[in-house]
Amino acid sequence: MSEPQNISSAAVIAAMRHWVERAVIGLNLCPFAKAVHLKGQIRYVVSEARTQDALLAELKTELQFLHATPAEQTDNTLLIHPQVLTEFTEFKTFLPRADAALRRAGLIGEIQIANFHPQYQFADSEPDDPANYTNRAPYPTLHLLREASLDRAVQAFPDAALIYERNIATLTALGHAGWEKLQIKPAAPGAGTERKASPPV
């Protein structure tokens, strides 16, 4: 397990926004992301959790927040947790607990949880496979998504089923050198001023 780092929430959010803008939108990895980004409907929350149980409690809070908040205000939430589950193997073992929390909250069919990690690796890939960049973000992150928003986006994008294959091709062509040029990385320890969460931006 990695040692906790002194990283401000503002710096973490800045790094994640850079990833959203340069990779998710810039490489068109998610054709649905640009609209909610421009409308300021993505909520960035930096968890201070240092244990899995603490993160689970915060996840429950954010699930209820998204459930109770109009989509026009917050379409989806990035729950970023820099201090816990920093190792990908540990992160993977936590994901069933996250899904169980979603089920206990009675939100199956309304919200789904996607996930990103700096060390993300598909089961059938090598660690250095560029395809892994499709799910790599500067920090471990649980992405809370509204099912209704996803359904509308898929209906508006006729080739939605091909997104995954296209992303693999894009990142394979980009390669490691191209990814490095995007400067997608965590903030330096101690950077920025302390702040826990941002409103949707």
Mean pLDDT of all residues in 179-194 = 82
Give the whole-number percent of the chain exceeding pLDDT 70.
Answer: 92
Residues 26-40, buried b or exposed e (16+ Cβ, 10 A)? ebebbbbbeebbeee
pLDDT tens by residue, 118-175: 999 999 899 999 999 999 999 999 999 999 999 998 888 877 778 989 999 999 999 9
pLDDT tens by residue, 67-76: 999 999 999 9
- The structure tokens listed for 72 are 């026009």
Instruction: Judge whether 70 and 55 are in contact, CB under 8 Å.
Output: no
String of DSSP letters for 3-52: PP----HHHHHHHHHHHIIIIIITTTS-TTHHHHHHTT-EEEEE----SH
Q: Work out the number of other CB atoms within 10 angstroms of the CB of residue 155.
A: 9
- The structure tokens listed for 189 are 């320890």
Q: Residue 194 pLDDT more than 50?
A: no
* pLDDT band, very low/low/confident/very high, at 105 (cuts 50, 70, 90): very high
Query: What is the Cα–Cα distance from 137 to 141, expressed in whole angstroms?
Result: 8
Query: Which residues have a Cβ under 8 Å from the Cβ of 189 and sit 6 or more positions away?
Result: 5, 6, 7
Instruction: Judge whether 83 and 5 are in contact, CB under 8 Å.
Output: yes
pLDDT tens by residue, 25-53: 999 999 899 999 999 999 999 999 999 99
